[in-house]
Structures are given as structure tokens and as C-alpha cells.
């Protein structure tokens, strides 16, 4: 049986299904997690900047003016506001245009310069924190401070978090595919075992059964179902073989009676009667067919018994050729026989081996191009004797892939004797090698 491509297997499809489901869930979860982390980090960053602004503002005074020293990445702008009138107190170098910032603050505070609470906002890559405090004394009012800081480090941190989450998600998804593929293979091992066992089962009256586990799952039920199917196939084969055996037994007696009657009528005729001879030949052919049916039935039922005895192989060949003399004469076929001397006697069932040789020669008569005859050679081998049968065949038959029922019977008889049976077929040549040994 041809093995399917790995990506067509159920194992791969299960792994892909798990991979798609896990990838979808993992992607959605990763996006939600990233948004949550981003919001948390953004809130922490905003609170930290506000805290820095508050700390700087606490150390800042208007009258007398006192401005604390800030870090290089802390740009500040300070103004004092009294009765709605703003007065610039301090602007650090490189601080963005305060007019633009105040306009943005105005829009945040509903178009008024009255600052009521601390707030932050981002513009381009800079975050601004606006903090205020009440001033009382010689000049009452509010001291306002804007702290500007670069957002570059914070954005880099967010990109790093996003990249790490993406990499972790990708690794988890790939790992899920590999793990799903491995687990699917482990789960489907019983199915693979069933397939391997089923491939070894051969059709016959006594077929092996598949192992059925105690798990009670679908695989166990599959094995039980297939065993039930094997039971039905086995019973069907037994019924068929019983029919063949019964039919063969029933036909043998009337055919034997017909042959006897025809031979008797031929014997009382003073002149040969071609019609009677033709009928007798047909009866003999039918008897041979019936005998083959019986033999096939016994082989398939594995009830064929061998009654072995040692016999000289030359005598076996001569007996077979003598029995086939009428058929060979009628077909005008010449047998060219080559025998070596002092051949070893072989233990075999004589009648079964005669049936084997008759089938082989009959196959050559029926299907061969026997204009040059049938060649038979009996020679010594390292262990026993080798019989070679050679004949020419038409090209139309040489292109056929079937071996025929007769050759199947021959092969099975040879196997029961533990004899070697080898067929070699070329373009217009057909050879059979039968290795006989004790």
C-alpha cells in the first residue's frame, strides 16, 4: 500500500487545527495583554513625570525668586498668575515655545488660562506635566510650572515590550504546533498499529484478528468493528470454498461415468468415431477442471494433506509426459527433454507434484507459441534438483500482468513442499524454475 504524503495525514491535520486555534487565542490574548501593559506603563510614566514636576515646583519660589537646578532632560517653564494676569518667571534653555504650550493648555482648560489641577499631555515625542501651587504673602496667586521631558526612552521601552510579547507569542505558537504534532502521533499510535496489523492479514478461512484495547474509546471500537468485518469475510470465504469442494465432489462421479461410457462405446466400434473421441476429450478436460477446483478449495481451506514418499525425479517426469501424450499429440507439440544422470531422489507427494507439472505443461500448451516445442531440463543443484520449463509466448500474452489460476496452484503446492518456485518472463520467453530438495 502506498504511503500518503505526511501533510495529508490525520496527524498533521490535527496538529494544524490545534495550531490555528492556539494561534488565534494567543494572538488575541497577546493584543489584550499588550494594551493592558501599555496602559499600565503609560499611567506609571505619567505619574512619574507629574511627581517630578511636583518636586521641582515645591522647591520653586516666586518672591524671592528661587529656581532649583534640574537635570539635562528636564525642561521647565515657570510663570506666576495673579488675578488672571500671567507673569513669566523662568524659562529653561531649549524649552519649546511657551506660547504654543499655553495655547494647548488653554484648549485643555476650556479656553481659559485658569489652571485648576495638575495634568499631562503629549505632543510629538515630548510629554508635558503641568503643576500648580497657591502662593500667599506679598503677592497672592498661583505659581505654575510646566515640566517637559522626552518620550523617546518610554517609547523604546514600549517597542521592546511589544517585540518581546510578539517573540514569546511566536515561540509559543510554534511550540504548540510541534507539541500538537507529537501528541497527535502518540494518540494515533494505536491506529498505526491497526494499519500495520491489517496489512499483514491475508484473506483465507482462518484470518488473524486485530488487537482490541480495553480503553473503550473510538480506536477500540474501530478494532472491534474491523474484527467483525473480518469474521464476515472469513465466513464468506469458507462458504465459497465449501461450495467449490461440494460442487467438485458432486461432479467427479458423473464425469467419471460419462468417460467410462464413452470409452466403452468407442471400444465396441470397429472404426474410430471422431465425435466420440471429441466428447471424451472434453470430459477429460472437465475432469481436470473439476480436479483443479477441488485442489484450489483444499489449498484455500488449508486442508490439503501431503503424503510424501521418496521418488526418482526422472520417473516423475516420464509419468507426467506419458499422461500428457494424447494432449501433446493432438496439439502437435514436441517436448525436448534434457536429463542429467544420477539425480537425487526427492521426498514429495507424488500426486500433488504430478498435478503441479501437468498444470505447468498445460499452461505452456494453452498459452505458448510452441512452434519450436517445449523445453524441459532436469539438472543437479547444490541442494537437490532443479527443473526448468521453457517455452516461447506471443507478445500479447507477455504484456499481460496476470499469472493465472494454474500458476497460483503450482506455486502453493511448491510452497507446501518447501520447494522453490520462480517465474521469469521476458518479452517473448517464459521460464519456470522448480527447485526440489529434501
Compare 92 and 105 and report the one with higher pLDDT. 92
Distance CA 229, CA 227 (A): 5
Pairing outcome for strands 335-339 and 85-91: unpaired
| pLDDT of 153 strictly over 80 | yes
Query: Which domains, ranges and CATH numbers included, belong to the chain?
Result: 1-187 (no CATH), 218-300 (1.10.287.130), 307-436 (3.30.565.10)
What's the grid cell of residue 135? 502662593
Cβ-based neighbour number of residue 397 at 10 Å: 14
pLDDT at 160: 93
| pLDDT of 175 strictly over 80 | yes
b/e string for 107-131 if b means 16 or more Cβ within 10 A?
eeeeeeeebeebbbeeeeeebbbbb
Distance CA 172, CA 182 (A): 15
Per-residue pLDDT band for 2 (boundaries 50, 70, 90) equals low
Q: What is the 3-state secondary structure (H, E, C) of 195-263?
A: HHHHHHCCCCCCCCCCCCCCCCCHHHHHHHHHHHHHHHHHHHHHHHHHHHHHHHHHHHHHHHHHHHHHH
Average pLDDT for 83-102: 76
pLDDT at 371: 78
pLDDT digits (tens, 9 = 90+) for 206-264: 788 888 877 778 888 888 888 899 899 888 888 877 787 787 778 878 888 888 888 88
Distance CA 100, CA 121 (A): 13
Burial class (CB in 10 A: 0-12, 13-18, 19+), 76: buried
pLDDT at 31: 93
Structural contact between residues 106 and 112, judged by C-beta atoms closer than 8 angstroms: yes
- What share of the chain in percent tops pLDDT 70? 89
Distance CA 423, CA 437 (A): 18
Chain CA centroid to CA 360, Å? 42
> For residue 28, what are the contacts with CB-CB under 8 A and spacing of at least 6?
none
| pLDDT of 402 strictly over 60 | no
| pLDDT of 114 strictly over 70 | no
Compare 360 and 3 and report the one with higher pLDDT. 360
Query: Which of 6-15, 219-228, 374-383 comes out lowest in average pLDDT?
Result: 6-15
| pLDDT of 139 strictly over 50 | yes
Structural contact between residues 286 and 258, judged by C-beta atoms closer than 8 angstroms: no
Distance CA 188, CA 250 (A): 51
What are the φ/ψ torsions at residue 436 (nearest 5 degrees)?
A: -100, 130
Distance CA 392, CA 387 (A): 17
Where are the extended beta strands (E) located within 54-103? Answer: 75-82, 85-91
Amino acid at each position: 500500500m502506498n504511503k500518503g504524503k505526511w501533510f495529508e495525514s490525520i496527524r498533521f491535520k490535527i496538529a494544524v487545527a490545534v495550531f490555528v486555534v492556539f494561534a488565534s487565542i494567543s494572538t488575541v490574548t497577546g493584543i489584550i495583554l499588550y494594551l493592558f501593559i501599555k496602559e499600565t506603563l503609560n499611567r506609571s510614566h505619567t505619574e512619574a513625570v507629574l511627581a517630578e514636576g511636583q518636586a521641582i515646583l515645591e522647591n520653586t519660589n516666586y518672591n524671592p525668586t528661587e529656581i532649583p537646578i534640574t537635570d539635562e532632560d528636564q525642561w521647565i517653564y515657570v510663570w506666576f498668575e495673579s488675578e488672571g494676569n500671567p507673569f513669566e518667571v523662568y524659562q529653561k534653555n531649549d524649552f519649546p515655545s511657551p506660547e504654543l504650550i499655553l495655547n494647548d493648555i488653554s484648549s485643555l482648560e476650556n479656553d481659559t488660562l485658569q489652571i485648576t489641577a495638575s495634568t499631562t499631555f503629549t505632543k510629538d515625542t515630548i510629554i508635558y506635566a503641568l503643576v500648580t501651587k497657591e502662593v500667599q504673602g506679598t503677592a497672592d496667586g498661583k505659581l505654575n510650572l510646566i515640566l517637559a521631558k522626552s518620550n523617546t526612552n518610554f517609547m523604546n521601552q514600549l517597542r521592546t515590550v511589544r517585540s518581546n510579547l510578539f517573540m514569546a507569542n511566536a515561540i509559543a505558537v510554534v511550540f504548540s504546533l510541534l507539541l500538537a504534532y507529537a501528541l497527535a502521533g502518540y494518540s494515533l499510535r494505536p491506529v498505526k498499529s491497526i494499519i500495520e496489523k491489517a496489512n499483514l492479514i491475508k484473506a483465507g478461512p482462518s484470518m488473524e484478528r486485530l488487537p482490541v484495547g480495553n480503553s473503550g474509546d473510538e480506536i477500540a471500537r474501530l478494532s472491534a468493528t474491523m474484527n467483525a468485518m473480518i469474521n464476515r469475510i472469513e465466513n464468506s470465504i469458507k462458504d465459497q470454498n465449501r461450495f467449490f469442494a461440494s460442487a467438485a465432489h458432486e461432479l467427479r462421479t458423473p464425469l467419471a461415468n460419462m468417460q467410462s461410457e464413452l470409452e466403452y462405446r468407442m471400444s465396441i466400434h470397429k472404426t474410430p468415431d471422431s465425435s466420440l473421441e471429441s466428447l471424451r476429450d472434453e470430459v477429460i478436460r472437465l475432469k481436470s477442471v473439476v480436479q483443479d477446483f477441488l485442489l484450489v478449495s483444499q489449498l484455500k481451506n488449508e486442508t490439503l494433506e501431503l503424503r510424501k514418499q521418496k521418488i526418482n525425479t526422472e520417473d516423475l517426469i516420464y509419468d507426467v509426459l506419458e499422461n500428457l501424450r494424447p494432449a501433446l499429440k493432438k496439439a502437435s507439440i514436441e517436448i525436448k527433454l534434457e536429463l542429467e544422470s544420477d539425480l537425487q531422489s526427492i521426498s514429495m507427494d507424488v500426486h500433488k507434484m504430478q498435478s503441479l507439472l501437468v498444470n505447468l505443461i498445460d499452461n505452456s500448451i494453452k498459452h505458448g507459441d510452441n512452434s519450436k516445442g517445449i523445453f524441459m531440463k532436469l539438472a543437479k543443484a547444490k541442494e537437490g534438483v532443479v527443473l526448468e520449463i521453457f517455452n516461447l509466448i506471443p507478445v500479447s500474452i507477455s504484456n499481460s500482468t496476470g499469472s493465472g489460476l494454474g500458476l497460483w496452484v503450482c506455486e502453493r503446492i511448491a510452497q507446501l513442499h518447501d520447494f522453490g518456485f520462480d517465474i521469469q518472463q521476458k518479452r517473448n520467453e517464459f521460464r519456470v524454475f522448480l527447485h526440489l530438495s529434501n
